[in-house]
Amino acid sequence: MSLKLRIVSPERIVFVGDVDSVTVPGTTGEFQVLPNHAPLISSLEAGNVVYDCAEGRKELTIAGGFAEVQNNNVSLCVEL
Q: 10-residue block means of pLDDT along the chain (80 residues)?
A: 93 96 96 96 98 94 98 97
pTM: 0.94
The answer as to whether 76 is a domain residue is: no
DSSP letter for each residue of 7-23: EE-SS-EEEEEEEEEEE
Helix (H, G, I), strand (E, B) or coil at 36: coil
Residue 40's domain spans which residues? 3-68
Structural domain includes residue 80? no
pLDDT of residue 54: 87
* CA–CA dist 38, 72 (Å, integer): 9
Q: How far is it, in rounded angstroms, from Cα 47 to Cα 64?
A: 7
- Residue 52 counted as domain residue: yes
- What is the b/e burial string over 26-49, where b = at least 16 CB atoms within 10 angstroms of the residue's CB? eeeeeeebeeebeeeebebeebeb
